[in-house]
Amino acid sequence: MATINLDYFAGLFDGEGSVSINLRNDGFQTVAGRIAIAMTHPIVMELPTAFGCGSTHAQNRKTKSGLQVYIWSVQDRKELLRFLPTLIPLLRVKKQQASLLFDFCSHLSITDSGKGKKLSPEEKAYRKTFVQRCKELNGSL
């Protein structure tokens, strides 16, 4: 297994990674965050071991040139809360998005009353502000 330098990874993530906070249409108005990186180099498959978080898979689709696409992503709130403070200081391009995701995960840790519990309309609206702000930062509005 290759050693993955966190400084190098941060630069790679700034260029190839993504940070998202999305509203899921699952009937519960679930808001969830994630970081991910997709690449054609299989080193991506080593990231869960190297960083102690996330999961990987080989995507079903291939690039136009026939290369396999590998994806590493972290969606678990506890893993994000543990990993993001290490990554954020090293980021330049995606620092604001990653900081917003960290704030979102921190908020959930304080306010979540457990799965299946009803959220107040105010809490739902507040969570949606994170979705909106992340889209703004990602330039997808």
The candidate with the shortest Cα–Cα distance to 100, out of 56, 47, 29, 35, is 35
Q: Do 37 and 44 meet the contact criterion of CB atoms below 8 Å apart?
A: yes
Query: What's the rounded Cα separation, in Å, for the pair 93 and 11?
Result: 9
**pLDDT value at residue 29:** 67
Fold of 6-138: Endonuclease I-creI (3.10.28)
Query: In the structure encoding, which two tokens stand for residue 122, read together?
Result: 């105010």
The 10 Å Cβ neighbour count of residue 93 is 13
Give the range among 25-29, 35-39, 124-128 with minimum mean pLDDT. 25-29
Share of the chain above pLDDT 70, in %: 89
Average pLDDT taken over every residue of the chain: 89
Instruction: Give the tens place of pLDDT for each residue, 54-110.
Output: 999 999 889 999 999 999 999 999 999 999 999 999 999 999 999 999 999 999 877
Residues 6 or more apart in contact with residue 43 via CB below 8 angstroms:
2, 4
Question: 110-140: b or e for each residue (b if 16 or more CB lie within 10 Å)?
Answer: eeeeeeeeebeeeeeeebeebbebbeebeee
